[in-house]
């Protein structure tokens, strides 16, 4: 049997002759990012992914088989992990027959358990399949479904508080960058200034973000990916009180394990900074770009 692998979830055409046979696969892309998922909710996969589809553009009827896989390292994308028990996707159809020129939209159900520990989580499920015809030709394909679950910062207000866009504060510098960051030891990374231009005292709360908010994606520099573990980044004081007209200083450090897979990597970290005053709050995100060393620890 002839066996070929295709670039998944893009328009892919395979032509074998004689006779002529072609299979085309269409979807949003090889990596399908699904944002703004909330715990305790159920979602239609088609509505969240713009109707991924399979189309037969050849001259022979084909049979398609679909399945889901829980990937393990090294197949996981940076920053993502295999889904925990209870988080699952069910495909509505796993076997499809397609005549020449026909297209079939794919759908399924995403279920997110009502577990607070899943907030801010990033999970990967692989959607795979294969198609074959009566001539014995076969085409394989796969796609990464990257699930981003909302946390309790910009998506939801803290208990007893409401968002207030009129609150003013400044983060300086606007972003940070560190080059040649060592592995296997703690190192100074960046200094964040929290400027309170108001005439009242405010409290600033810092936390690491595990996924990239949709509104922030355009700001990310080309060539950088989200750090695989946000907890490589460490705060000196994740909660600061700053008087009106004054500047709070937070020094960030970083400690990355000395592993070959972490050398010469270009990552970014996202620090969520929330300013709170009485029952009001406002949140901003601060980006730290990191390029790790090429050299092994001596």
Tens digits of per-residue pLDDT, 174-200? 999 999 999 999 999 999 999 999 888
40-49, 78-87, 233-242: which is most confident:
233-242
Among 55-69, 77-91, 203-217, 280-294, name the one with the lowest average pLDDT: 77-91
Give the residue-averaged pLDDT of 153-178.
Answer: 72
Higher pLDDT, 43 or 25: 43
Domain 2-149, CATH class in plain words: mainly beta
Higher pLDDT, 180 or 134: 180
- What 3-state DSSP class applies to 129? strand
Residue 288 and residue 175 in contact, taking contact as beta carbons nearer than 8 Å: yes
Tens digits of per-residue pLDDT, 51-73? 577 778 777 888 889 888 888 87
Give the residue-averaged pLDDT of 120-124.
Answer: 81
157-162, long-range: CB < 8 A, 24+ apart:
157/281, 158/274, 158/276, 158/281, 160/279, 161/276, 161/279, 161/280, 161/281, 162/279, 162/280, 162/281
Burial label for 32, CB within 10 Å (0-12, 13-18, 19+), is: buried
Residue 169 and residue 194 in contact, taking contact as beta carbons nearer than 8 Å: yes
Higher pLDDT, 39 or 11: 39
pLDDT at 18: 35
As given in the structure block, the two tokens for residue 117 are 């520990």
Largest CA distance in the chain: 80
Give the residue-averaged pLDDT of 239-262.
Answer: 94
Residue 202 and residue 273 in contact, taking contact as beta carbons nearer than 8 Å: no
Which segments of the chain belong to CATH 2.60.40.10?
A: 2-149, 162-292
Give the residue-averaged pLDDT of 111-140.
Answer: 82
As given in the structure block, the two tokens for residue 201 are 């005292």
Does an H or E element contain 47, and which? helix 45-49
pLDDT at 51: 57
pLDDT at 50: 66
One of 1.10.510.10, 3.30.465.10, 3.30.360.10, 2.60.40.10 is the CATH number of 162-292, namely 2.60.40.10
Band (pLDDT 50/70/90 cuts) for residue 159 is low
């Amino acid at each position: 049997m002839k066996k070929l692998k295709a670039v998944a979830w893009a328009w892919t055409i395979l032509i074998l002759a004689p006779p002529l046979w072609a299979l085309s696969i269409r979807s949003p892309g090889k990596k399908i990012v699904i944002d703004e998922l909330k715990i305790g909710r159920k979602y239609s996969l088609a509505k969240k992914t713009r109707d991924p589809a399979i189309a037969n553009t050849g001259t022979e009827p084909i049979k398609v088989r679909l399945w889901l896989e829980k990937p393990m390292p090294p197949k996981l994308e940076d920053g993502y992990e295999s889904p925990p028990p209870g988080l699952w996707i069910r495909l509505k159809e796993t076997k499809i027959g397609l005549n020449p020129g026909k297209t079939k939209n794919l759908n399924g159900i995403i279920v997110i358990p009502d577990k607070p520990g899943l907030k801010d989580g990033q999970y990967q499920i692989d959607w795979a399949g294969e198609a074959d015809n009566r001539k014995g030709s076969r085409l394989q394909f796969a796609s990464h479904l990257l699930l981003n679950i909302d946390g309790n910062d910009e998506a939801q207000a803290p208990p007893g508080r409401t968002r207030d866009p009129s609150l003013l504060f400044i983060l300086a510098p606007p972003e940070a960058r560190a080059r040649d960051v060592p592995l296997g030891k703690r190192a100074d990374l960046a200094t964040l200034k929290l400027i309170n231009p108001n005439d009242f005292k405010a409290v600033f709360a810092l936390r690491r973000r595990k996924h990239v908010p949709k509104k922030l994606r355009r700001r990310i520099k080309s060539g950088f990916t989200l750090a695989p573990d946000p907890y490589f980044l460490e705060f000196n004081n994740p909660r600061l009180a700053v008087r009106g007209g004054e500047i709070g200083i937070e020094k960030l450090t970083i400690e990355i394990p000395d592993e070959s897979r972490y050398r010469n990597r270009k990552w970014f970290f996202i620090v969520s900074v929330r300013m709170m005053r009485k029952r009001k709050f406002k949140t901003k995100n601060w980006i730290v770009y990191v390029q790790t060393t090429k050299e092994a620890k001596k």
